[in-house]
Amino acid sequence: MRYRMRPRAGNNFCAQAIFLATTSVIASFAFGNTAHADTPIADGVSIFATVDVGVAYQSAGVPLNGASVGGLEYQAFTTTRNFNGSQTTLAENALEQSKIGLGVSEKLGDSGLSAVGRLETAFNPLSGELSNACKSLAENSGVGTPANPQGQNANYDSSRCGQAINGILYGGLASKTYGTLTFGRQLSLVQTALLTYDPQIVAPAFSFFGYSGFEAGAGSTQATRLDNSVQYTLTVGEFHAAGLYSSGGLDTGVLGRTYMADLGVTHGGLQLDALFVRANGAVNLRSSFDNGPSPTTGSPPAGLAAFISKNTSWNAMGKYTLSLANKATLALYAGYSHIEKAHADYNGGASQGDYPINVGININQTAKYDVVWLGTRWTSAKGLSISAGLYHIHQKDWTIGLGTNGNDNLTCNDGVGLLCAGNFNEASLVIDKPVVKHLDVYAGANYSVVTNGLAWGFASDQGGAGNGRMGSQDQVTLTTGVRLKF
């Protein structure tokens, strides 16, 4: 369904856009010809939406939360280490985050330029709430303890924190010759690349990159989506390049400036990209166990427990697509990232969604991580796909100080087990089959495990094994569901 929309003087354009998107998705059930979120935007305004619901079994986990971004804690690498027994439950957003949005592409006469834009906001279809990770952390604050997490439900950090537009919102100009220049709230260049180079296409239940923005934000999920940003992209023949700059802001989850660069090439079935990220003043929300009750209320509010970091990452990603018989394809994926999180000299601010924070610790010795992934995806001519992914993260020992600038250099050996070296491993398998236009069904299995420092804090890792030098927590998740996509 295509619309030409002219904002009226004195009206709020975003409010008009949200109203139009909502009413048009209802209309799309009758007419069924709106654009997919991942298809090129046709001339005019295109409406798109995704709704993803299903059921899940987890060998270890916590109940569904109506505000948390994925609904469930789909991975063992999570913000609040609170698993409390097996879960059999309704599920949402397992294959793709449910969302609604619109895209704009309007030719500007014969100039060769087009006005372009995109708006997306994510929601949880089982609760009807806008996705709000910060709210989920606040709701679980003061509930249970690491040794006895009774009463906790899903909660973890994210850049989606209940904003009216918690996804992206940008506009600009595009030229086939001179590239595209856009301004607004935009996606990290790393997350954009992962949509191509992740074999599970950032599916929250089957890919660490879909569950967490750790990789996309160079170690901090709050840096996955960047307010106050400008981005330029250019393609010349087989080569492409992109640059992104954000000035940050004290209420945006990234307090300082962010710089990102991407260089890539496409040759036949081979695609390669190399990316660099520097995010200054990234907010990292800590476990809900680190908060007192009601940390976001009161005058003044205590704030969500957090620390602030200067993040740097170097990333290399590749994909090779083979053409098979009967028009099927087989894609092979590989990637590597090195991430460093260092001290950032900020003593306050706010997370995404303008949630107040309480900065109680700071980084002394830089936290370093190595991320590796491999995978494959077979796709038939009729759209049936079978995909598999392997993901690995290694954390090295790091140290912290108390307060915003303390130089205590507390180490793993001082009883702070999360500072110890540790590993995360994940393996996933998904089958996705189109049923009719706009509707597909899927089933998948995911196994993830954290060890040593990355497992410290889970109830099963308390006591003698809770020193960060030993211990582990694993999780098996089996999910099946349907995805409706316009």
Written as one string, the DSSP assignment of 317-354 is: EEEEEEE-GGG-EEEEEEEEEEEEEEE------B-GGG
Q: Are strands 400-402 and 361-363 parallel, antiparallel or unpaired?
A: antiparallel
- Please tell me the number of Cα atoms within 13 Å of 140 on its side-chain side: 35
First to last CA, the chain: 10
Q: Give the Cα separation of 176 and 157 in Å (integer).
A: 38
Does residue 39 form part of some domain?
no
Q: What are the φ and ψ backbone dihedral angles of 362, each rounded to 5 degrees?
A: -145, 160
- pLDDT confidence of residue 459: 79
Nearest to 331 by CA among 476, 446, 234, 201: 201
pLDDT at position 466 is 55
Identify the pLDDT of residue 35.
33
Residue 166 located in a structural domain: yes
Q: Are the CB atoms for 215 and 75 separated by under 8 Å?
A: no
Backbone φ and ψ for 194, nearest 5 degrees, come out as -65, -25
SS3 assignment, position 252: coil
Q: How many of the other CB atoms lie within 10 Å of CB of 225?
A: 30
C-alpha–C-alpha distance, residues 17 and 224, integer Å: 23
- The answer to whether residue 14 sits within a structural domain is no
Neighbour count for residue 78 (Cβ, 10 Å): 26
| Angle at CA of residue 20, ends 16 and 25, nearest 5° | 155
Q: What is the pLDDT along the chain (486 residues), one digit of tens a residue?
A: 333 333 333 334 333 333 333 333 333 333 333 333 354 445 789 999 999 999 999 999 999 999 999 999 999 999 999 999 999 999 999 999 999 999 999 999 999 999 999 999 999 999 999 999 999 999 999 999 998 999 999 999 999 999 999 999 999 999 999 999 999 999 999 999 999 999 999 999 999 999 999 999 999 999 999 999 999 999 999 999 999 999 999 999 999 999 999 999 999 999 999 999 999 999 999 999 999 999 999 999 999 999 999 999 999 999 999 999 999 999 999 999 999 999 999 988 999 999 999 999 999 999 999 999 999 999 999 999 999 999 999 999 999 999 999 999 999 999 889 999 999 999 999 999 999 999 999 999 999 999 999 999 897 655 434 567 888 999 999 999 999 999
Tokens representing 462 are 């308390």
Strand-pairing partners, residue 331, are 321, 377
Residue 265: strand pairing partners: 239, 272
Within a domain: 284: yes
- Residue 307's SS3 state is strand
* H or E stretch covering 191: helix 189-197
The enclosing domain of 343 has a CATH number of 2.40.160.10
| Residue ranges making up the domain that contains 348 | 52-485
Report yes or no on 414 lying in a domain.
yes
What pLDDT, on a 0 to 100 scale, did the predictor assign at position 34? Answer: 31
Q: Which is nearest to 426 in space by CA: 376, 476, 385?
A: 476
Give the pLDDT score at 132.
Answer: 98
**Predicted model pTM:** 0.90
pLDDT for res 42: 53
Q: What pLDDT score was predicted for residue 468?
A: 78
Name the percent of the chain in helix, strand, coil, to the closest 5.
15, 45, 40
Query: What pLDDT is stored for residue 44 in this prediction?
Result: 85
Q: Which residue has the tokens 């003698």?
A: 464
In a domain, 25, yes or no: no
**Following DSSP, what letter does each residue of 69-122 receive, concatenated?**
SSSS--SSS-SS----S-EEEEEESSSS--EEEEEEEEE-TTSSEEEEEEEEEE
The radius of gyration of the chain's CA atoms, rounded to the nearest angstrom, is: 22
Token reading at 416:
């702070």
Domain count, the chain: 1
